[in-house]
Chains A and B, each alone.
Chain A
Amino acid sequence: MGGKKSHIANQVKRIRLARTDLTQAELARRIGATRQTIIAIEAEKYSPSLELAFRLSRVLGEPIEELFQFSGEWV
């Protein structure tokens, strides 16, 4: 099993701004993370754990596959 460059894209910022009135700080508080982690996730510099991803999904009211997409190659 081997891997190539992988990348997890996300729509967190788009969905947060379009469908909620949550600020980054409020979203962070509701999912039990820091605001800096939300900033890093929205900038796609940090991929959250599965648990945090599920919490985001629940708070934003979107299925997890709407929020995160695996766009890398995998061999």
Chain B
Amino acid sequence: MSIIADMSEPERQSWVTLIADGFVFVWFWKTMAPGWSLIPDNFTPSETGELFFKLVIITIFYHVVISLAFEFRRRKGGVDKDERDLEIQSFGTRVGYMTLELGLGVIIVTALLSYVFSESYSPPITLTTPVQFIFALTFLSYVADLLRHGVAVIRYRAA
């Protein structure tokens, strides 16, 4: 029996979401900060708005498509999800939430350093413009989501 055939439906959904998130995250990162840099290009407000409009639409679209696809696959009378799935997914959600909290702390400290010590100290990453803030927050939310699903799929394989 292949690995995919041996997966429960929630595990398959985690994999599909992880892969889709990964593709969109790479597209977003390459578009905003070419060369895998952590410093975004100087986008104009209209360019930023257009990019984020696309990002939001794409993200909503694929999450809806994935959810609907798995909803239609649901077996009548069968059990597709049980306590083990809930436990694994709640562990992934906890890891994602902790990442989000930690990342927000880093963003706040970086913003403070960029603002308070701007004349005497220049950190490798500065957060002074709206584009930089938007990039940092979006980057963080995708990393947290990727970790959430990544941790879940690792745990599915381990347990």
Contacts and interface: CB of A to CB of B under 8 A. Distances in A.
> Mostly helix, strand, loop or mixed at chain B's interface?
loop
Contacts, number: 38
A33 B79 contact: yes
Contacts of A40: 84, 159
Interface residues of A, number: 15
Interface stretch (A1-9, A14-22, A45-53): A45-53
B81 interface: yes
A28 B83 contact: no
A55 to B, nearest CB: 11
B71 interface: no
Interface in A31-68: 32-37, 39-40, 45-46, 48-49, 52
Interface of B: 6-8, 11, 78-85, 158-159
